[in-house]
């Protein structure tokens, strides 16, 4: 179990130590997002911008034109909702070399409730031309993506999870390839497609399904954009049922992406989407939330069985 935010803060500090272009701009949440690791390691390149996320994004856009690589630290909601206009105008439309580290994404945001649970961010960011949208499955993949994103010239949105999660153990810690799609577990009849830390829970569901005689494959999509259709089509193969699972609304995120690609290519596979079905979340412990919103391993397995019935 490793905390993605800790790894993000530590990796970014390492990257900053060798790359003088890297600066970190915080919206007064460094001790939550773990940008504080960078603040202690590289205090001269840590910039506190206060509780003002629109200005945070705008300042980053300006800094990027002066040769810096600004990474931003705040909660997901404050980027994709409060600061969406500057992200759209100043970062996406200009192709600014700005990296948005969206901490506390999804439902599991530490008893904060629906105000802080961002379950629309993937849909919003996917709709931005020029934006790279990444959702690492574990801490190792997160570290690799921090390195990749810093070297990539252009805007990157990195969706981070708050709480420690098991390692997927499938990505070498020092490697991320643009647009990667991973077949974590092969399967013929049913393929579960997931993103971010939800993939760990989907693997648990696949174990439960296997135990009851259902051979379910698992595909991990850590990069929602840009995505080469062919990679996704190859990964799901000839499965007749594709179940997408995401800690996000089923509208426009991973489920939307997979349905669009499979539909457009006429594969004939049925797509069933698991995620928040057009509802808001609530304040509760993680286990409660995962069960209530159908994202725990057992609940995902249940959804797959129902779809097969």
Partner 1 sequence: MPAKRTDVSHRTLRELADHGRWLAVSTVTQSKAGHIGGPLSAMDLLVTLFFDELRIRPEEPDWPERDRFILSKGHSAIGLYAVMALRGYFPVEEVATFDKGDSRLQGHPDMTRLPGLDASTGSLGQGLSVGLGMALGARLAGRDPRTWVLLGDGEVQEGMVWEAVHTAARYRLGNLIAVVDCNGLQQYGWPAGTDDRGDRRDPWAGIALGPVFDAFGWRVHEFDGHDYDAIGAAFAFARDGAAGQRPTVLLARTTKGRGLSFAEGRHVWHTGNATPDQLARARTELGIDDSIDDSIREGIDDGGAA
Identify the residue among 12, 90, 168, 290 touching partner 1 (CB under 8 A): 90
Q: Which parts of 10-39 interact with partner 1 (CB under 8 A)?
A: 23
**Separation of alpha carbons 241 and 189, rounded Å:** 7
Identify the residue among 11, 32, 33, 59 touching partner 1 (CB under 8 A): 59
Under the criterion CB under 8 A, does residue 60 sit at the interface with partner 1?
yes
Of 57 and 259, the one with the shorter C-beta distance to partner 1 is 57
What's the min distance (Å) between Cβ of 244 and partner 1? 33
- State whether the Cα torsion 76-82-84-90 is positive or negative: negative
What's the min distance (Å) between Cβ of 69 and partner 1? 11
CB atoms within 10 A of CB 146: 29
Under the criterion CB under 8 A, does residue 41 sit at the interface with partner 1?
no
- How is residue 133 written in tokens? 């949208």
Listed in sequence order, the DSSP H helices in 109-162 are 121-126, 139-151
Stretch that binds partner 1, among 90-98, 202-210, 232-240, 279-287 (CB under 8 A): 90-98
Identify the residue among 58, 137, 217, 222 touching partner 1 (CB under 8 A): 58
Under the criterion CB under 8 A, does residue 61 sit at the interface with partner 1?
yes
Stretch that binds partner 1, among 92-100, 118-126, 210-218, 298-306 (CB under 8 A): 92-100
For the stretch 228-266, what's the b/e string if a residue is b when 16 or more beta carbons lie within 10 angstroms of its beta carbon?
Answer: eeebbeebbbebebbbbbbbbbbbbbbbbbbbebbeeee
What's the min distance (Å) between Cβ of 140 and partner 1? 32
The CA-atom distances, in angstroms, between 90 and each of 12, 58, 85, 97 are 23, 7, 8, 10
What's the min distance (Å) between Cβ of 20 and partner 1? 10
Under the criterion CB under 8 A, does residue 86 sit at the interface with partner 1?
yes
Identify the residue among 55, 267, 283, 286 touching partner 1 (CB under 8 A): 55
**Separation of alpha carbons 289 and 300, rounded Å:** 13
CB atoms within 10 A of CB 80: 23
Identify the residue among 19, 40, 62, 215 touching partner 1 (CB under 8 A): 62
Of 65 and 177, the one with the shorter C-beta distance to partner 1 is 65
Q: Which parts of 136-165 interact with partner 1 (CB under 8 A)?
A: none
**Separation of alpha carbons 285 and 119, rounded Å:** 17
- How is residue 252 written in tokens? 């426009």
What's the min distance (Å) between Cβ of 185 and partner 1? 43
Is residue 82 classed as helix, strand or coil in its secondary structure? helix
Of 33 and 64, the one with the shorter C-beta distance to partner 1 is 64
Under the criterion CB under 8 A, does residue 112 sit at the interface with partner 1?
no
Identify the residue among 32, 64, 80, 105 touching partner 1 (CB under 8 A): 64
Q: Where are the beta strands (DSSP E) in the chain?
A: 22-26, 46-48, 69-75, 99-103, 132-134, 156-159, 182-185, 190-194, 216-220, 223-225, 241-249, 270-276
Residues that bind partner 1 (CB under 8 A): 23, 45, 47, 49-50, 52, 54-55, 57-68, 70, 85-86, 89-90, 93-95
């Amino acid at each position: 179990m490793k905390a993605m935010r800790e790894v993000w803060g530590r990796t970014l500090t390492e990257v900053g130590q060798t790359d003088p272009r890297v600066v970190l701009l915080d919206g007064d949440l460094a001790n939550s997002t773990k940008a504080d690791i960078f603040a202690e390691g590289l205090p001269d390149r840590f910039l506190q911008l206060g509780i003002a996320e629109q200005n945070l994004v705008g300042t980053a856009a300006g800094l990027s034109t002066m040769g810096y690589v600004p990474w931003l630290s705040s909660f997901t909601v404050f980027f994709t909702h409060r600061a969406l206009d500057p992200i759209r105008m100043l970062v996406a439309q200009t192709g600014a070399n700005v990296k948005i580290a969206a901490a506390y994404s999804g439902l599991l945001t530490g008893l904060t409730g629906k105000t802080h649970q961002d379950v629309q961010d993937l849909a919003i960011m996917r709709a931005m031309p020029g934006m790279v949208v990444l959702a690492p499955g574990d801490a190792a993949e997160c570290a690799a993506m921090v390195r990749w994103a810093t070297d990539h010239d252009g805007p990157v949105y990195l969706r981070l999870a708050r709480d420690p999660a098991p390692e997927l153990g499938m990505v070498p810690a020092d490697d991320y390839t643009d647009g990667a799609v991973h077949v974590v577990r092969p399967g013929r009849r049913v393929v579960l497609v997931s993103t971010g830390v939800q993939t760990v829970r989907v693997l648990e569901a696949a174990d439960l399904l296997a135990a009851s005689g259902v051979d379910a494959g698992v595909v991990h999509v850590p990069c929602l954009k840009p995505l080469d259709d062919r990679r996704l089509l190859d990964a799901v193969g000839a499965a007749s049922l594709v179940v997408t699972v995401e800690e996000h609304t089923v509208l426009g995120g991973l489920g939307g992406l997979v349905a669009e690609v499979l539909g457009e290519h006429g594969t004939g596979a049925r797509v069933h989407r698991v995620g928040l079905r057009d509802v808001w979340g609530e304040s509760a412990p993680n286990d409660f939330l995962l069960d209530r919103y159908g994202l725990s391993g057992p609940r995902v397995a249940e959804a797959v069985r129902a779809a097969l019935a």
